[in-house]
Amino acid sequence: MVKFALLHKNESVRIAPRLIAWGLALAAIALIAGGLVLDRIAAEQHVPGSGSFWLYPFLLAAVSAPAVVGAPVVARHPHNPIGWILVLGALSLAAVLAATPYAWVALYAHPGSLPGGSWAALVSSLWPAFFAWPLAVAFVFPDGRLPSPRWRPYAIFAACSVTFLVVLLVLADQLEEPFSDVPNPFPVRLPEALGFLRLPVWLAMFASLFVGAAAARVRYKRSQGVERLQLLWFAYAVGLIPLGVVFFLLWGLIFGGNGDAVVGFLLGMEAAVAIAVGVAVTRYRLYEIDRLINRTLVYTVVTVALGLLYAIVSLLAGVALGRGSTWVTGLAVLAVALAFGPLRSRAQAAVDWRFDRLRYEGIRRVRAFVDDVREGRREPEEIGAVLAAALRDPSAELLFRLPASDAYADRFGAVLVEPADDERAMTKVEHRGQEIGLLRHKRSLLVHPDLLRGVLGAASLAIEIARLRVEVRLQLAEVEESRARVVRAGYEERRRLERDLHDGAQQRLVTLGIVLRRLQRSLPREARILGPALDSAVDEIGLAIEDLRTIAAGVRPPRLDEGLAAALADLARGAPIPVELEATHQRLPEQVEAAAYFVVCEAVTNAVKHGSPSRVRVEASVAHGELRLVVADDGVGGATVAKGTGLMGLTDRVLAQGGTLRVHSPRGAGTRIEAEIPCES
């Protein structure tokens, strides 16, 4: 696969190789067609061996298959020798095959009508052309290189044996059948002394056919995944070469002479190898030609349909408006113009459906989902599951790339800095040149890059929306977390302050008071007059301590240590209006108790300050893992949660604990504040 990637770099297809390749391919087809025409002429004159009708399809297939497969491959990848081998192979085969009827016409049917009849007979003797190109392809398919450097000697051996055989045939005294009685026009003959070479070169040629098949086999065995699929057909087809040889020899031994059946078999083999290469190219997207074919099909269908439309409209309008009216042409053009857009997408869909059903269905499914998202019927985060269904891969998993960081997150916002490696493949999802996600999917999907590209392309908008939503949610969670931290730090600070007041200042005042009391009690009788002054000093200290205790209790009521109910009971006792209290005695996490206390405290304070109620009802109960607080008064109502009001701070406290708060305060009908705070107990 690496080598393909290298090939893809060279996408800038130059015109020249493409023209040359198509030129050669067409020349090959023209040659064989011409050969068939000559064969018809020879058959009219009853030249022996001519006029085998049943061979015609084989002859056409054996030449046109490599030509038609080879030319587009050259056009796409001019640096890969495979395409050239196919095109040139088709041409050489066409030359050899067409030479026979040419020689028949020139030498027997109409002697002297065509020049170079004996040269054509010589060319028709060069039967190694049957084996040369399949052998070459067998060695270098599909990347244009040998399976490994170890194969170099074998390849050289094969090339040499074919070349030598051709040289031996050219220099032979006698041409091959059916022109064994035609004198060889080539002026040079093989020296008699080298006559012994004939057999070894023949054997070497046959041996190299086996070696070629072995090379393809070895490459197939070594290949994996996509390449294995691509090589499967090819390895089978190339296996036909030695089979053909065995068949050829057996036929010679049993029936003597090379019957037409052998020629037919060999021609079939040629076509089979070329078709195998074609299968590898198109069916498994070896050179991404399927896309080309797809487009070609679509445009052919569209063109034909538009042509028909033009004709029908012209005809109908002609009948209605009279022939030659400019209106007719105008109407027909208008109809064609209007039909083009929808027709093109219809044709594309039809071709996709017919030739690439998986991709078609996948894209359709994703598009339907995107429509649902637009209509608000589904959440964009479900795109991961939709992709898995569209790709028919339950193991597929979509990760969103977070815009603010380099991390990935799943749909629930769980962040992965580096996705763990597993046996699944990973494909980046891009939207307007930006990476927006990562799809992990089964490896076999790599065989269908078009499917992946198409489905992900259709899904990219949904993925973009989903990842932005995931990011926003993550950031919101972070803000909530930091607010909770700030509030928590606030409670800690309150606790510290309360301790400082009780254990520091208050203790000093008590100590001072004790000193004064001892002084007072040790006064001599004559100084007792100081007693009342000291009494009032100690009273003053007592008041200072009371003040301190009030302040400390406001900072953090010490009875919170005994639970929410105890603290709320103190609160109710100290309130300036009657407070009905119904509080759970269940102990809750410290933060929750503190938050709940201050929420009730602020709500009651607020009620007393703004609502002028006659009484307040406070409820605190635990159900379904939540602490539910209700503070209801019978005051004037009309309270709002706006900036700067006491209710705003209250909301902050509740939200910081991940809770919710509702205020129901119709004018003139009291205020009811309900809060729910999650508590894990």
Partner 1 sequence: MRIVIAEDTVLLREGLAGLLEDAGHEVVARVGDAQALLAVVAEHEPDLAVVDVRMPPEYSDEGMRAAAEIRRGHPGTAVLVLSQHVETRHALELVSAGGGFGYLLKHRVLDVDDFLDAARRVAEGGSALDPEVVATLVSPPAHEDTLGELTPREQEVLALMAEGRTNAAIAKRLWLTERTVETHVRSILGKLGLPISGDDHRRVLAVLTYLRASAV
Tell me if 649 contacts partner 1 by CB under 8 A. no
What amino acid occupies position 218?
A: V
- Choose between 217 and 615: whose C-beta lies nearer to partner 1: 615
Residue 632 makes contact with partner 1 by CB under 8 A? no
Scanning 159-167, 499-507, 607-615, 621-629 for contacts with partner 1 by CB under 8 A, the matching segment is: 499-507
* Residue with Cβ nearer partner 1 (407 or 545): 545
Is residue 511 a contact point for partner 1 (CB under 8 A)? Answer: yes
- Give the closest residue to 332 by CA, choosing from 311, 353, 354: 311
How far apart CA 651 and CA 357 sit, in angstroms, is 56
Note whether 525 binds partner 1 by CB under 8 A.
Answer: no
Stretch that binds partner 1, among 57-65, 192-200, 289-297, 511-519 (CB under 8 A): 511-519
In the complex with partner 1, the residue whose CB is nearer, 217 or 502, is 502
Q: Among residues 344 and 517, whose Cβ is nearest to partner 1?
A: 517
Binds partner 1 (CB under 8 A): choice among 513, 611, 635, 637: 513
Task: Please tell me whether residue 521 binds partner 1 under the rule CB under 8 A.
Answer: yes
Amino acid at 431: H
Residue 478 contacts partner 1 per CB under 8 A: no
Report if residue 493 touches partner 1, rule: CB under 8 A: no
Specify the residue, 321 or 515, whose C-beta has the smaller distance to partner 1. Answer: 515
Query: Encoding tokens for residue 293?
Result: 């074919």
Non-local (6+) Cβ contacts of 478 within 8 A are none
Least distance (Å) from partner 1 to the CB of residue 535?
A: 10
Least Å distance, CB 546 to partner 1, is 8
Task: Tell me how far apart the alpha carbons of residues 363 and 356 are, in angstroms, rounded to a whole number.
Answer: 11
Query: Which is closer to partner 1, CB of 350 or CB of 538?
Result: 538
Q: Which of 509, 577, 608, 630 binds partner 1 (CB under 8 A)?
A: 509
Considering Cα of 517, then 521, then 525, then 531, what sign does the dihedral take? positive
How far apart CA 206 and CA 52 sit, in angstroms, is 28
Provide, rounded to whole angstroms, the least separation between the CB of residue 521 and partner 1: 6
SS3 513: helix
Helix, strand, coil % in the chain, rounded to nearest 5: 70, 10, 20
Task: Please say which residue, 203 or 515, places its beta carbon nearer to partner 1.
Answer: 515
Beta bridge partners of 616: 579, 633
d(CA 575, CA 47): 128
517 binds partner 1 (CB under 8 A): yes
Phi-psi region of 14 (alpha: psi -120 to 50; beta: other; left: phi over 0): beta
Rounded Cα gap, residues 408 and 436, in angstroms: 9
Count of chain residues binding partner 1 (CB under 8 A): 37
Part in contact with partner 1 (CB under 8 A); list of ranges 358-366, 429-437, 506-514, 671-679: 506-514
Nearest distance from C-beta of residue 505 to partner 1, angstroms:
10
Q: H helices within 126-197, ranges in order? A: 129-140, 152-170
- Does 538 bind partner 1 (CB under 8 A)? Our answer is yes
Min CB(563)–partner 1 separation in Å: 8
Asked if 515 touches partner 1 (CB under 8 A), the answer is yes
In the numeric block, which tokens belong to residue 405?
């960081």
Window 70-109: contact mask with partner 1 (x via CB under 8 A): ----------------------------------------
User: How many other CB atoms sit within 10 Å of the CB of residue 130?
Assistant: 23
- Between CA 349 and CA 329 the distance in angstroms is 30
Residue 666: exposure state from Cβ atoms within 10 A (0-12, 13-18, ≥19): exposed
Candidate segments 145-153, 243-251, 503-511, 672-680, binder of partner 1 by CB under 8 A: 503-511
Instruction: Measure the CA angle with vertex 140, ends 139 and 141; round to 5°.
Output: 110
Q: Which is nearer to partner 1, 322 or 542 (CB)?
A: 542
Sign for the CA dihedral angle at 314, 319, 320, 322 comes to positive
Q: What angle do the packed helices 129-140 and 260-282 form, to 10 degrees?
A: 30
Judged by DSSP in three states, 24 sits in: helix
Contacting residue, 12, 224, 326, 522, with partner 1 by CB under 8 A: 522
Strand order in the sheet with 425-431: 415-416, 408-409, 397-401, 434-441, 425-431
Which of 246, 333, 486, 514 contacts partner 1 by CB under 8 A?
514
Binding mask 548-587 for partner 1 (x = CB under 8 A): -x--xx----xx-xx--xx--xx-xx-----xxx---x--
Choices 256-264, 429-437, 507-515, 634-642 (CB under 8 A): range interacting with partner 1? 507-515
Residues at the contact surface with partner 1, assessed by CB under 8 A:
499, 502-503, 506-511, 513-515, 517-518, 521-522, 538, 541-542, 545, 549, 552-553, 558-559, 561-562, 565-566, 569-570, 572-573, 579-581, 585
